[in-house]
Amino acid sequence: MSDAAASAPAAAGGRSAAELRTMLIPLALAQFICSFAGSNMNVMINDISEDLDTSVEGVQFTITLFLLVMAALMIPGGKLCDRWGRKRCFTVGLTVYAVGAILSAAAPRLPLLIIGNSILEGVGTAMLIPPVYILATMLFDDMTSRAKAFGMISGMGGVGAAMGPLIGGLITTAISWRAAFVFQAAVIAVIVVLSRRIVDPLPADPGSRPDTLGAVLSAAGLVLLVGGIMVTKNSWAGAVALMLAGAVMLAWFFLHIRARERAGEEPLLSMRLFRDRVANLGLVTQNIQWLVLMGTSFTVATYLQVVRGYNAIETGVIFTAATVGILISSLAAERFAQRRSQRTLIAGGFVITIGGVGVLLAMASGSPSAWAFAPGLFLIGFGIGAMLTPSVNVVQSAFPDELQGEISGLSRSVSNLGSSLGTAIAGTILVSGLTSGAYGWAMASLAILSLVGLAAALLLPALRPKTNDDQAVSLVI
């Protein structure tokens, strides 16, 4: 670790750099496997459809529901960390996830796959991911070392999402799509062993009372909102009705938490989280980053398999370009952060990503070669990898330790909502007309949404990381 990281232990309970690094590894692996689970099924579409006698829409529904369950329950999961303690919540989440993975591997029909993958793995992820970011924030409490920790965790998340198609394709082709879920369970077992050395910096608060109504309202609002997008291809009226119902639920949720806070009761989320302009802009960029990454993964993987007839491994290999792009930019995250403001990194990432979508459309449409997808996928991966860490750092660093449980849950919920929206929006456009140019329209929609992320990034202040000599955060507007 660098000198900056080595200075962190003094502010992290006197722990050595080696101890911190040991605790960081299982946290990063947890983010990796959860992101992997969100994208590895994209290359199994044909295999799962044939084996379980279902359709592309059925597999899309399973993938989107997994991402949506994560998004809907991530906020309650973050709050549960305060009540149970971060390490306990992490361990229970790993256990639930492993059960879901094993059940998915044995699923004889689509409904059981939905229960195992979409529900149990989704619930497990919602419980184990908030502690990852809360613990990283508490253990690394100066901005430079925290940026490195977030860089490793977020980078592993991006790599997991990008490598999901490749690893999933290799396993599916060599063994079976079911073996990919056995692989997930095996990785979870490794994480459980490694996590024994994690020390929770704060004691649990069993006396905290859960905001059950708030959890129900937030989850219902998100489910209805994404569900409305998914039924657009079948019924515009039904889609509008579901999205309006979702908007009503979310409005009710905000009124509820405001009233609960004014009454002196503990809400699911503090209204303070929504009053920080910088954090709100950071959340927008997080949402759109994952929307574009997962939307691209689903769109390209489906197009390659259904239209061009590629198998799982061929599809996965093509995604190596995106994996390489994310790896390069993630590994360089610390060096980037030392030279450029977080606003510049996030905005630059969106510019590169939008350019990547343009290159992808231009080259893939004009060439029958599968490798015509590689340059565009590399640029998309590089752009997203460059902005994952600064976006997380902007949001998490905006709040004190006592709000880390809530902001971690909100941050991960927003990111996973982006993932589910990406699969829902691009997937809905794609499956509505795979042979009639829908692929181009799906990718174009992701580029347009990236412009929204770019606009949010340009409104951020230019936050520079702390140095060893000056721990104050400088703001360059």
Tell me if 3 is assigned to some domain: no
pLDDT band at 468, cuts 50/70/90? very low
Distance, C-alpha 64 to centroid of its chain: 13
- Do 240 and 162 share a structural domain? no
Residue tagged 């990796």 (tokens): 32
**Cα–Cα distance for residue pair 89/62, rounded to 1 Å:** 25
Average pLDDT, the chain: 82
Q: Give the residue, 155 or 6, on which the prediction is more confident.
A: 155
Residue tagged 């998309």 (tokens): 380
**Cα–Cα distance for residue pair 211/234, rounded to 1 Å:** 36
Q: Give the residue, 105 or 388, on which the prediction is more confident.
A: 105
- Do 219 and 160 share a structural domain? no
Residue 470 has pLDDT above 60, yes or no: no
- Do 220 and 260 share a structural domain? yes
pTM for the whole structure: 0.75
Tell me if 285 is assigned to some domain: yes
- Do 261 and 168 share a structural domain? no
Mean per-residue pLDDT for 32-41?
A: 87
Tell me phi and psi for residue 462, to 5 degrees: -85, 85
- Do 121 and 224 share a structural domain? no
Count other C-beta atoms under 10 Å from residue 461's C-beta.
17
- Do 283 and 175 share a structural domain? yes
Residue 463 has pLDDT above 60, yes or no: no
Mean per-residue pLDDT for 444-453?
A: 93
- Do 325 and 243 share a structural domain? no
Q: Give the H/E segment covering residue 15.
A: none
Tell me if 18 is assigned to some domain: yes
Contact between residue 5 and residue 146 where contact means Cβ atoms under 8 Å apart = no
Domain ranges, residue 239: 212-267
Tell me if 6 is assigned to some domain: no
Contact between residue 399 and residue 407 where contact means Cβ atoms under 8 Å apart = yes
Tell me if 461 is assigned to some domain: yes
- Do 230 and 186 share a structural domain? no
**Cα–Cα distance for residue pair 92/77, rounded to 1 Å:** 11
**Cα–Cα distance for residue pair 443/298, rounded to 1 Å:** 10
- Do 300 and 425 share a structural domain? yes
Q: What is the DSSP string of 179-244?
A: HHHHHHHHHHHHHHHHGGG---SS---TTPPP-HHHHHHHHHHHHHHHHHHHTTTT-HHHHHHHHH
The pLDDT of residue 379: 95
| Pairing verdict, β 462-464 and 474-476 | antiparallel
The pLDDT of residue 349: 93
> pLDDT per residue over 227-280, tens digit each?
888 777 677 788 889 999 999 999 999 999 999 988 888 888 788 888 888 889
Tell me if 8 is assigned to some domain: no
- Do 131 and 84 share a structural domain? yes
The pLDDT of residue 14: 59
Residue 6 has pLDDT above 70, yes or no: no
pLDDT band at 143, cuts 50/70/90? low
> pLDDT per residue over 374-430, tens digit each?
899 999 999 998 888 888 888 877 887 677 667 777 887 788 788 888 888 887 787
CATH number at residue 376: 1.20.1250.20
Return the structure tokens found at 465: 């990381």
> pLDDT per residue over 332-366, tens digit each?
776 776 777 888 899 999 999 999 999 998 887 76
pLDDT band at 63, cuts 50/70/90? confident
The secondary structure of the chain in percent helix, strand, coil, rounded to multiples of 5, reads 80, 0, 20
Q: Give the residue, 15 or 323, on which the prediction is more confident.
A: 323
The pLDDT of residue 464: 54
Domain boundary among 227, 251, 267: 267
Domain boundary among 267, 290, 306: 267
Tell me if 7 is assigned to some domain: no
Tell me if 1 is assigned to some domain: no
The total domain count for the chain is: 2
3 state SS of 470:
coil
Mean per-residue pLDDT for 308-332?
A: 83
> pLDDT per residue over 156-185, tens digit each?
887 787 788 889 889 998 999 999 999 999
Residue 100 has pLDDT above 90, yes or no: yes
| Cα dist from 93 to 22, 87, 326, whole Å | 20, 10, 27
Return the structure tokens found at 305: 């398999």
Mean per-residue pLDDT for 295-315?
A: 84
Mean per-residue pLDDT for 276-304?
A: 89
- Do 331 and 224 share a structural domain? no
- Do 122 and 247 share a structural domain? no
